[in-house]
Amino acid sequence: MLGEFELIRHYFAAAACARSGGEVVLGIGDDCALLQLPPGEQLAVSTDTLVAGVHFPDGCDPFLLGQRALAVATSDLAAMAAAPIGFTLALTLPSADPLWLGEFARGLDEMALACSMRLLGGDTTCGPLCLTVTVFGRVPAGQALTRHGARPGDLLCVGGVLGEGAAALPLVLGEQKAEPAVAEHLLARYWSPEPQLALGEALRGRASAALDISDGLLADCGHIARASGVRLVVEQSRLPLSPAAVALLGTAEAERCALAGGDDYLLAFTLPPAELPALLEAGWPLWPIGRVEAGQGVALVDTAGDEIRVTAHGYTHFG
Ligand code: ADP
Ligand code: MG
């Protein structure tokens, strides 16, 4: 039977992503990790918890779970325009199953390397399966992108095609089947979303507000509207719908996924219009989908500019 410390050593301390270096002066093995930030930089910190049966199905592939747990947490660094440093992992496990741990650690390690994230430490306990990932990043003082800088006249943009996370859900839960190419694409988007770290950094000093879409476009736009004291207008005709979601679910349902489905982990941001041409020219993936106005709340409008009533805005716990 694998003991706690043997488990930590074998699966986590020995992982490639657990090596010190960069800002990580001291990693796993002591009471704390030590980070050294370059002068003039601020530390960005965010925590995400994934609970079995709520955020992922019981019995799902541990390799994919490792990838997804780190990707969704790292996406918060992208949203703040922070450069990745590393993460801690608080792991609660029903048992120390070597097969499960090996695959989970492999998925985590692959995503960590893809995102330039180092494993800094964590905690390992016994109980119902639950993961908490805390991510750390760095950003030049005053240059983080927050939710509160949007101004009337700005454009509202997103960093990719919307709705794929939500469209993938029935496939993830085994409630629906799809053509192999469509299923493969959507499942990959769900299990290994790519945090838009490079886009976030490119938006530093340009975007006026940003976040990553985790709960649904309209719900998340509501956060920017509230924090900035403005009204966000989303033009239905400009939504970049996912071809895979349309193929699987049809246009109307793909649109619902784009507006109110969660799990996309793409950036949504507001941008003074003068900033748009240079970003497009540089080839950044971005789609203007609306604008910022004086007022409050989020409105969805049709091509005539008339407001469309929507019932579901996104996902909330306890809701
Ligand atoms: P302490 O008792 O001082 O809190 P622990 O015994 O919990 O420390 O952990 C020993 C070391 O292993 C620490 O450096 C901790 O950060 C690290 N660690 C524990 N669990 C994990 C994990 N799941 N992943 C990575 N590092 C871990
Ligand atoms: Mg200690």
Distances (CA, A) of 305 to 191, 235, 301: 37, 8, 5
Residues in the chain: 319
156 lines ligand 1 (CB under 6 A): no
Alpha carbon of 123 to ligand 1 centroid (Å): 5
Alpha carbon of 31 to ligand 2 centroid (Å): 4
Angle, helix 180-191 to helix 62-79, in steps of 10 degrees: 60
Q: Strand, coil or helix: what is 272?
A: coil
Residue with the bigger pLDDT between 262 and 36: it is 36
Which residues are annotated as part of the binding site for ATP?
122-123, 147, 214
Query: What pLDDT, in 10s, does the model give residues 127-186?
Result: 999 999 999 999 999 999 999 999 999 999 999 999 999 999 999 999 999 999 999 999
Model pLDDT, residue 301? 95
pTM: predicted TM-score of the whole model, two decimal places? 0.94
For the CA of 32, the nearest atom of ligand 1: 14
Mean of pLDDT over the chain: 95
117 lines ligand 1 (CB under 6 A): no
In contact, 235 and 298? CB cutoff 8 Å: no
29 lines ligand 1 (CB under 6 A): yes
In contact, 162 and 213? CB cutoff 8 Å: yes
* Strand 83-93 with 118-126, pairing: parallel
Residues at Cβ < 5 Å from ligand 2 ion: 31
Angle in degrees, CA 244, 245, 251, rounded to 5: 120
Cα torsion 282, 160, 80, 54 to 10°: value is -160
15 lines ligand 1 (CB under 6 A): no
Task: With cut-offs at 50, 70 and 90, classify the pLDDT of residue 2.
Answer: confident
Please give the helix or strand (H or E) that residue 33 lies within, else none. Answer: none
Residue 1 has pLDDT above 80, yes or no: no
Task: Give the mean pLDDT of 116-135.
Answer: 97
30 lines ligand 1 (CB under 6 A): yes
Alpha carbon of 34 to ligand 2 centroid (Å): 14
Query: What pLDDT, in 10s, does the model give residues 84-103?
Result: 999 999 999 999 999 999 99
- With tokens 């941008």, the residue in question is 271
Which residues are annotated as part of the binding site for Mg(2+)?
31, 46-48, 76, 123, 212, 215
In whole angstroms, what is the distance from residue 248 CA to residue 164 CA?
A: 10
Task: With cut-offs at 50, 70 and 90, classify the pLDDT of residue 191.
Answer: very high
Alpha carbon of 108 to ligand 2 centroid (Å): 24
Query: What pLDDT, in 10s, does the model give residues 4-38?
Result: 899 999 999 999 999 999 999 999 999 999 999 99
In whole angstroms, what is the distance from residue 207 CA to residue 217 CA?
A: 17
Task: Give the mean pLDDT of 273-289.
Answer: 98
- Determine whether 196 is exposed, middle or buried from the number of CB atoms within 10 Å of its CB (0-12, 13-18, 19+): buried
Residue 80 has pLDDT above 80, yes or no: yes
123 lines ligand 1 (CB under 6 A): yes
Quick one: which of 211, 223, 209, 201 has its CA closest to 284?
201
Model pLDDT, residue 319? 47
Model pLDDT, residue 315? 60
